[in-house]
Amino acid sequence: DSAADQILLVHTARSRAGCAAGALLAARWIAGRRGMYAFADVLDDMLALEPEKERKVR
């Protein structure tokens, strides 16, 4: 933030569908694994599965 400008990054959830989809994705990913993980671990693996394809929100 400065006198000249301000940069904002805003996210607005319009429904709980995105949260539910993320929870299901993480549940499938964690099945059979042991230990503690962050959601970043899930995302890193998911993004690595499709290195050639355009990554987009599903």
Whether the pLDDT of residue 13 is over 80: the answer is yes
Whether the pLDDT of residue 57 is over 60: the answer is no
Give the tens place of pLDDT for each residue, 41-56. Answer: 988 988 887 655 555 5
On whether residue 47 sits in a domain, the answer given is yes
Q: Which residues contact 55 (CB under 8 A, 6 or more apart)?
A: 47
On whether residue 58 sits in a domain, the answer given is no
Whether the pLDDT of residue 21 is over 80: the answer is yes
Q: Which residues contact 22 (CB under 8 A, 6 or more apart)?
A: 39
Domain count, the chain: 1
CA atoms lying within 13 Å on the CB side of residue 37: 16
Domain that holds residue 22: 1-53
Whether the pLDDT of residue 5 is over 60: the answer is yes
pTM value?
A: 0.57
Name the token pair of 46: 């998911």
On whether residue 44 sits in a domain, the answer given is yes
